[in-house]
Amino acid sequence: MNTEQKLINQLKTSPENIQFDEVISTIQKHYSYTPTIFTNGSGTDSVINNAGENEGSCKIFAFAQLHNLTKQQTLHCFGDYYREDVLGFPEKKNHENIRQFMKYGWDHMAFENKVLTKK
Protein backbone atom coordinates (compact mmCIF):
# COMPACT_ATOMS: atom_id res chain seq x y z
CA MET A 1 0.00 0.00 0.00
CA ASN A 2 1.50 3.36 -1.01
CA THR A 3 1.55 6.50 1.14
CA GLU A 4 -1.45 7.96 -0.67
CA GLN A 5 -3.59 4.89 0.05
CA LYS A 6 -2.38 4.85 3.67
CA LEU A 7 -3.38 8.49 4.07
CA ILE A 8 -6.86 7.86 2.66
CA ASN A 9 -7.29 4.86 4.98
CA GLN A 10 -6.10 6.89 7.97
CA LEU A 11 -8.59 9.65 7.15
CA LYS A 12 -11.32 7.01 7.40
CA THR A 13 -10.09 5.26 10.55
CA SER A 14 -8.16 7.74 12.71
CA PRO A 15 -8.35 11.25 11.23
CA GLU A 16 -7.43 12.84 14.55
CA ASN A 17 -3.86 11.60 14.05
CA ILE A 18 -3.34 13.20 10.63
CA GLN A 19 -0.67 15.90 10.46
CA PHE A 20 -0.51 18.71 7.89
CA ASP A 21 3.13 18.00 6.96
CA GLU A 22 2.36 14.33 6.27
CA VAL A 23 -0.49 15.28 3.95
CA ILE A 24 1.62 17.81 2.04
CA SER A 25 4.49 15.31 1.76
CA THR A 26 2.13 12.67 0.36
CA ILE A 27 0.68 15.11 -2.16
CA GLN A 28 4.15 16.21 -3.30
CA LYS A 29 5.24 12.59 -3.69
CA HIS A 30 2.31 11.58 -5.89
CA TYR A 31 1.30 14.77 -7.73
CA SER A 32 2.71 17.63 -9.76
CA TYR A 33 1.35 20.94 -8.50
CA THR A 34 0.27 23.90 -10.62
CA PRO A 35 -0.39 27.11 -8.65
CA THR A 36 -3.81 28.54 -9.47
CA ILE A 37 -6.35 31.03 -8.21
CA PHE A 38 -8.95 29.48 -5.96
CA THR A 39 -12.01 30.91 -4.25
CA ASN A 40 -13.38 29.70 -0.95
CA GLY A 41 -16.68 31.06 0.36
CA SER A 42 -19.78 32.80 -0.91
CA GLY A 43 -20.34 36.28 -2.32
CA THR A 44 -18.78 39.07 -0.30
CA ASP A 45 -17.74 36.45 2.27
CA SER A 46 -15.36 34.80 -0.23
CA VAL A 47 -11.63 34.40 0.22
CA ILE A 48 -9.86 34.79 -3.12
CA ASN A 49 -6.42 33.18 -3.12
CA ASN A 50 -4.10 34.25 -5.93
CA ALA A 51 -1.92 31.67 -7.68
CA GLY A 52 1.00 30.87 -5.39
CA GLU A 53 -0.75 32.09 -2.22
CA ASN A 54 -1.84 29.67 0.48
CA GLU A 55 -0.35 26.79 -1.47
CA GLY A 56 -0.82 24.31 1.37
CA SER A 57 -4.54 24.99 1.39
CA CYS A 58 -4.70 24.85 -2.39
CA LYS A 59 -2.96 21.47 -2.46
CA ILE A 60 -5.08 19.99 0.32
CA PHE A 61 -8.39 21.16 -1.11
CA ALA A 62 -7.45 19.90 -4.58
CA PHE A 63 -6.30 16.53 -3.19
CA ALA A 64 -9.47 16.20 -1.13
CA GLN A 65 -11.63 17.04 -4.13
CA LEU A 66 -9.83 14.46 -6.30
CA HIS A 67 -10.48 11.80 -3.68
CA ASN A 68 -14.06 12.86 -2.89
CA LEU A 69 -13.20 13.41 0.75
CA THR A 70 -15.96 14.57 3.05
CA LYS A 71 -15.87 18.02 4.57
CA GLN A 72 -14.69 16.56 7.89
CA GLN A 73 -11.99 14.38 6.30
CA THR A 74 -10.76 17.42 4.38
CA LEU A 75 -10.56 19.52 7.53
CA HIS A 76 -8.54 16.81 9.27
CA CYS A 77 -5.96 17.07 6.45
CA PHE A 78 -4.97 20.40 8.02
CA GLY A 79 -3.91 18.58 11.19
CA ASP A 80 -3.26 20.77 14.22
CA TYR A 81 -3.97 23.94 12.25
CA TYR A 82 -7.58 22.76 12.22
CA ARG A 83 -7.80 20.86 15.49
CA GLU A 84 -5.84 23.28 17.71
CA ASP A 85 -5.57 26.68 16.03
CA VAL A 86 -9.10 26.85 14.60
CA LEU A 87 -11.27 24.67 16.84
CA GLY A 88 -9.34 25.77 19.92
CA PHE A 89 -9.83 29.46 19.15
CA PRO A 90 -13.14 29.88 17.30
CA GLU A 91 -13.18 33.65 17.86
CA LYS A 92 -9.92 34.26 15.99
CA LYS A 93 -9.66 35.19 12.32
CA ASN A 94 -6.52 33.21 11.40
CA HIS A 95 -6.52 30.26 8.98
CA GLU A 96 -9.21 31.93 6.92
CA ASN A 97 -9.41 29.18 4.29
CA ILE A 98 -10.07 26.53 6.94
CA ARG A 99 -12.72 28.70 8.61
CA GLN A 100 -14.42 29.46 5.30
CA PHE A 101 -14.45 25.78 4.34
CA MET A 102 -16.01 24.91 7.71
CA LYS A 103 -18.76 27.40 6.95
CA TYR A 104 -19.39 26.75 3.24
CA GLY A 105 -17.88 23.36 2.41
CA TRP A 106 -17.52 22.08 -1.14
CA ASP A 107 -20.47 24.06 -2.52
CA HIS A 108 -18.41 27.25 -2.51
CA MET A 109 -14.93 26.04 -3.44
CA ALA A 110 -13.69 26.79 -6.96
CA PHE A 111 -10.33 26.43 -8.71
CA GLU A 112 -9.53 28.46 -11.82
CA ASN A 113 -7.36 25.65 -13.28
CA LYS A 114 -6.38 22.06 -12.57
CA VAL A 115 -4.16 22.06 -9.48
CA LEU A 116 -2.82 18.50 -9.20
CA THR A 117 -1.72 16.04 -11.86
CA LYS A 118 -0.78 12.47 -10.99
CA LYS A 119 2.97 11.83 -11.42
User: Quick check: helix, strand or coil at residue 52?
Assistant: coil
Residue ranges in the chain whose pLDDT is less than 50: none
What was the pLDDT predicted at 2?
85
Q: Is 53 part of a structural domain of the chain?
A: yes
What was the pLDDT predicted at 51?
97
What was the pLDDT predicted at 1?
73
CATH of the domain at 42: 3.20.160.10
Q: Write the DSSP string, 83-104.
A: IIIITT-TT---SHHHHHHHHH
List the domain range (segments joined by +) for residue 64: 17-118
Q: Is 83 part of a structural domain of the chain?
A: yes
Q: Is 5 part of a structural domain of the chain?
A: no
- Residue pair 95/14 in contact (Cβ under 8 Å)? The answer is no
Q: Is 28 part of a structural domain of the chain?
A: yes
What was the pLDDT predicted at 14?
95
